[in-house]
């Protein structure tokens, strides 16, 4: 009985993966609004009715795809180890991890920022959108914690980490659209430069705060 249940579970997971692969292709071609459960089912080789045994809507499928993408992002950040125990090294390692993940996987960036259907989480419930945002923030939180360990207060650390993320995403968009070529620049080089300046500026601010408190 247990062996049969394991086989059934493995088969179910395989079928679910096929549905998600088919859905990703459909979303990339048609966006969320233009996609349909019928077309996703056709690509996966199932009937629409069979599809509903795995997901109750195309929005649920999109949420599952994005959730898996964010899980991969979090693993990449978690596995990124700093060169030493300094907070600055931690910041650099974790920031390089999320930037590198999206640099190497442009379709994950599209998925993560809803670029396949127009820069907004249309169709996703507020609860699902909040949970997905929390997963994204989880990948960025180590940078914020490192900034606080370098001497910034919580509000300043949040502001700097947000600016770092916004800067990185802007560079990624320039890279993935090819627009960065007009500047004859490299996205990774520009990101690393921004990060180095942030580390130096934060270290100076932390030293000033320490001197004022002593």
Judged on CB neighbours under 10 Å (0-12, 13-18, 19+), 41 is: buried
How far is 30 from 44, CA to CA, in rounded Å? 16
> Count of residues for the chain?
214
Q: What pTM, to 2 d.p., does this model score?
A: 0.85
pLDDT value at residue 207: 64
Specify the pLDDT at position 59.
Answer: 87
CA geometry: angle at 105 spanning 104 and 109, to 5°? 125
- Residue pair 147/161 in contact (Cβ under 8 Å)? The answer is yes
pLDDT averaged over 10-residue windows placed end to end, the chain, 214 residues: 62 83 90 88 91 88 91 96 95 98 92 58 69 91 97 96 96 94 97 97 77 57
């Amino acid at each position: 009985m247990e062996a049969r249940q394991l086989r059934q579970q493995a088969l179910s997971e395989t079928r679910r993966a096929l549905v998600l692969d088919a859905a990703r292709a459909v979303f990339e071609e048609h966006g969320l609004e233009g996609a349909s459960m019928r077309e996703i089912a056709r690509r996966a080789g199932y009937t629409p009715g069979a599809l509903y045994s795995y997901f109750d809507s195309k929005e649920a499928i999109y949420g599952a795809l994005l959730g898996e993408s964010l899980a991969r992002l979090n693993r990449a950040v978690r596995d990124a180890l700093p060169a030493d125990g300094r907070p600055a090294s931690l910041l650099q390692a974790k920031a390089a991890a999320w930037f590198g993940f999206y640099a190497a996987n442009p379709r994950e960036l599209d998925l993560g920022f809803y670029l396949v259907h127009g820069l907004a989480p249309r169709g996703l419930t507020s609860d699902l959108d909040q949970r997905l945002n929390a997963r994204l923030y989880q990948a960025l939180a180590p940078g914020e914690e490192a900034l606080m360990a370098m001497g910034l207060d919580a509000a300043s650390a949040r502001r700097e980490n947000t600016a770092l993320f916004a800067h990185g995403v802007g560079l990624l968009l320039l890279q993935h659209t090819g627009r960065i070529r007009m500047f004859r620049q490299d996205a990774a080089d520009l990101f690393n430069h921004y990060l180095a300046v942030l580390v130096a500026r934060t270290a100076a601010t932390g030293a000033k705060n320490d001197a004022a408190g002593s």
